[in-house]
A and B are shown apart, each in its own frame.
Chain A
Amino acid sequence: MWQFMLRRLSYALLAVFVISLVSFAVIQLPPGDYVTDMINRVRATGGKVDPEFEQRMREVYGFNQPMIVQYAKWLTNILTRGEFGYSFIYKRDAGEMIMERLPTTAVMVFGAVLLTWVIALPLGVMAAVYKRTAIDYSAIFIGFVGLAVPSFMLAIVVLFVVYRTFGRATIGLFSPEYVAAPWSVNRLLDLLKNMWLPALITAVTGIGALTQTMRANLLDELNKPYVNTARAKGLPEWRLLWKYPVRHALNPFVSTIGWLLPALVAGDVVISIVLNLPTAGSMLYAALLQQDQYVAAGFILLLSSLTVIGTLISDLLLALLDPRIRLS
């Protein structure tokens, strides 16, 4: 067991290292760098930028160094000083900025996950129990519509409807008076009040797939002998259902928790742009657009590391539960 854990841990570390390298390289793939972007903006305003100056700025920011040197510096700073580099856009430490965005993102993401599960699991169970009935088909229909309609589109439609009906639509996660306020109970309540809509929109996309997985898993379980045995022993149908097969059907969900976070953050990008949410997604998008490379690389590294850690944890848990995994 220890050997297994050690092996998995070293794989995970290696994965994080490779991810850090790849994420840094990917940021540098598009032509140009932050200096290009900065100078474009100056030019768009009618400014005439001297080519020599552009070169000079590149030296100052260290963009003239080979990628690998820049990468080494970046990684060393993270490992030795916990510094993620400098945000060119905000003139601040990139790490600080990322950390400030994570709480709202976490609240949003967990809210969305919770909503997805609360809706999708019962729906999946119902669909499986009443398979090939109107309930099943409606669940499939709802799920597929959710899957097919792009979430940003849904966001726009919902905004439009809310604006038409109530005369105003909430943009952002906070009411105006709380936007700049420090964290407090009231601010948290305000966040929850404004959060349900974006969380629901994010959730809708995930519901379809999750409902279908649940339905399929549960159908597999329902035919197993232990279910028949339990039924024969006179256990009430619904209690039986929740106590055994649903639990078993849940297994795959637990083991994929690690993938959930990055998927949700990625899915949240467009919605957070449309709804102007101060979450990680929109910041990552802006950083990529404006070539704010340390913010972008830091975000990608952090999110990917979370995936790796999540997967590692679920692996270890599964290994504890199931000896077959450990040995193979």
Chain B
Amino acid sequence: MKTVSRRKFLKAAAFAAGAAGLAACATSTPAPTEAPAPPTEAPKPAAPAPAEPTKAAEPVTLPGKFNEAPMLAEMVKAGKLPPVDQRLPENPQVVKPLVAPGKYGGTLRQGIVGNSVTWGGGLYTFQWENLVQWKPDFSAPEPSLAEKIDISPDGREYTFTLRKGIKWSDGQPFTADDIMFYIDDVLFNTEINPGGPAADWLPANQREGFRAEKVDDYTFKLIFPRPFGSFLYNLATWVGRYFAQYPKHYLQQFHAKYNPEVDKLVKQEGMENWVQLFFRKGPDTWGNPDRFMDVPEYPSLGPWVVVQPIGSGSTARFVRNPYYWKVDDQGNQLPYIDEVIITAYQDPEARALAMLNGDLDFIKDPGEQNRELYYDAMNAGKSLKIIQRVPEGGNTISIHFNQGSKNPVLRQVFQDKNFRIGMSHAINREELIEVVFKGQGKPAQVAPLENSPLYIERLANQYLEYDVAKANEYLDKVLPNKDANGMRLGPDGKPFSIIWTCLDQTYTGGDARAWLQAAEIMVGYFKAVGVDVKLDVISEQVLNERRRTNDVDMFIFHGSEGGAGVTAIIDPRWHVPGEYWSFFGHGWAPYVVPTDLSEEEKSNFVEPPDWVIQHRRLYEQATEQTTYEAQVAAMRKVLEASADYFWVIGISRPGLSYQPMSKRLQGLPEGSVDGWLPGTHKIMRPEQWFIEG
């Protein structure tokens, strides 16, 4: 095996990234002269989201004639399928190749961990078709299923014009009726949703008075009671997919309003009522995209449709949707790739091995701990290549002290900003970056990225230095008394101790392993300044129990979301209390936002001071602004305040994320934005990926 120093190599890669002008990585490190050539072209910086959103993409003149995949051409010849121009809409969406024009054919072999194709990565490969989508540079939403969006000047009325002639994968037209079915017959149906319309694109304060109106077959209006300037950002993220998930012609057979005979079906399926049947046959959760991975007859708008669900085996097979409504700029119907095989692994390491074996072409979330493994394998001449991406997230880790703790001593201490400042200075971030994040990234607090219009220098860089003396100085203002061992005593004179709640490895959403590793190291830092912290590692289920009784005093989580562009407006979880993961203000939550807690449960929570609620309102105002400038200005106010309050402690800006893939997979651009909000790999447009050789 060829021996290239892995450390040298990583350094070089990191430097290449920094040199690319990516502010997040632009440290003052001089160029290591002995650095070997970087593995890939340096990524381009992520665009800062400057443009006014919703402007249509620049028009592309298509050649008069459309082309299709050879496998579909054969079916057309055999008379099994209408010709391509009858399958495509009048004005198909044009996807400009992000790297090079592709070619038809081949199989994409994707590996997932766990048995959910959806959450393992399929959601982004097969099902992220929204009315509007992110531009490839993540700068703003652009029209997608809708070809035109008109917004009334007061920001309350959104008029969507769908592309005429888009068809579901079974050949039936996708029209405004499908949208109306979703909104009127599902969302606002009191039998399906007795508690009222529950959808995360429709904020609680917008529900009362919201309505949808059909204008004609391809036009509909969404009318909000209050201005809702940030609506299109929302739609471009995953919550927008609901509008493409309710094929009325298929689902109406399970709906009492449309099928008077529905009770027969209910009996036949052994259900108790039609609502149960509807959830079992249709979107059985709140628009759960699992359906599209599991039920072959469920019509889809995605580029590939399931033919063999994962079932009891460990593989699922998807083939191209002959009615897919996007073309490249040469008029070739997308997708390029014929079929996708998904293989499920129970263990991330088994999947990594399969990737190294060359059994797979693509995986989502390769894992920070395997970074060196993949680079080593690539250097050793394995059939692998790696592209680098720019994480959307503002930080790697966020540390929360629940300022609404039900323990009065902790509450008093946590609410004192000096305590949080002291704890922040006690952390040796450089060491954490070296050990936990393999030297990738730089110290930072949780904040939007440098190239975002919402970047606030103070929010990102305050209280970062590792300085034990300074930490003690601040902590002495809050917890001046110590016991014989130098450990601090609480204001009540008793030993001061915090239970630090951490998620275990079964957490479904991210790299809990890295957090735990970091937390274990940080316990030592805190001890060095006399603060006793004990780790309590629990599963997500247990966390949810404790959440209801307000039993989480200190918490560790990722610091991602809301980093790039203006996305902090749609995900303000680190800067505004009342969000689901805002554990810093968890004890206040039921007083800040509507809640489902019983009065008895609510008694475990604490009423916040008035300024906390005012801060929340300030944020809600930002979402109502109708112009981009006003949104940015209003949100900057929220973040300035967040910098004053210093809610959460961050560790570091992430370094570039890396994406290993087989050499035969082509079409994935370097430097795209990586994160949930851009749809992990959906922003790289999987429909225009292709297989070479």
Chain A interface (Cβ < 8 Å from any Cβ of B): 30-32, 36-57, 60, 83, 86, 89-92, 96-98, 100-101, 156, 159, 163, 168-169, 171-172, 176, 179-180, 272-276, 278, 282-283, 285-286, 289-291
Contact = CB atoms under 8 A, between A and B. Distances in A.
Contact of A90 (B198, B309, B343, B580): B309
A60 B280 CA distance: 9
Given A171-B345, A276-B346, A276-B347, A43 B308 contact: no
A102 B691 CA distance: 36
A101 B315 contact: no
Interface of B: 114-116, 119, 123, 192-196, 198-200, 237-239, 270, 275-276, 279-280, 284-286, 288, 290-291, 294-295, 308-315, 317, 341, 343, 345-347, 349-351, 353-354, 356-359, 506-510, 539-542, 544-545, 561, 571, 580-581, 595-596, 676-677
A60 to B, nearest CB: 5
Contact of B317 (A42, A89, A90, A180): A180
Contacts of A180: 308, 313, 315, 317, 341
Given A44-B509, A56-B195, A92-B309, 6 more contacts: A46-B561, A90-B294, A100-B313, A163-B357, A171-B353, A273-B346
The 4 closest A-B CB pairs, nearest first, are A44-B509, A51-B596, A52-B195, A50-B198
11 contacts: A41-B116, A43-B580, A45-B676, A46-B677, A49-B200, A54-B596, A90-B312, A97-B311, A100-B312, A100-B313, A274-B349
Q: Which of A91, A176, A275 has the most CB of B within 10 A?
A: A91
A30 B540 CA distance: 11
A171 B113 CA distance: 13
B350 A171 contact: yes
B116 A32 contact: no
B571 A273 contact: no
Contact of A168 (B115, B280, B314, B357): B357
Contact of A51 (B280, B285, B595): B595
A272 B115 CA distance: 14
B544 A40 contact: yes
Contacts of B350: 171, 273-276
A98 B311 CA distance: 10
A45 B347 contact: no
A48 B580 contact: yes
A38 B350 CA distance: 25
B238 A46 contact: yes
A179 B310 contact: no
Contacts of B359: 171, 176
A47 B239 contact: yes
Contact of A273 (B280, B343, B347, B510): B347
Q: Which of A46, A54, A90, A176 has the most CB of B within 10 A?
A: A46
A278 to B, nearest CB: 5
A289 to B, nearest CB: 6
Contacts of B311: 90, 92, 97, 100
A38 B294 CA distance: 15
B237 A91 contact: no
Contacts of A291: 541
Nearest to A35: B285
Nearest to B506: A289
A112 to B, nearest CB: 19
Contacts of A53: 193, 195, 198, 286
Contacts of A171: 345, 350, 353-354, 357, 359
A31 B545 contact: yes
A274 B312 contact: no
B536 to A, nearest CB: 15
Contacts of A46: 237-238, 561, 571, 676-677
A72 to B, nearest CB: 15
B312 A96 contact: yes
Given A163-B356, A171-B354, A42 B286 contact: yes
B347 A274 contact: yes
Contacts of A272: 346
A31 B196 contact: no
A93 to B, nearest CB: 10
A231 B285 CA distance: 75
A304 to B, nearest CB: 20
A165 to B, nearest CB: 12
Nearest to B675: A46
Contacts of A32: 541, 544-545
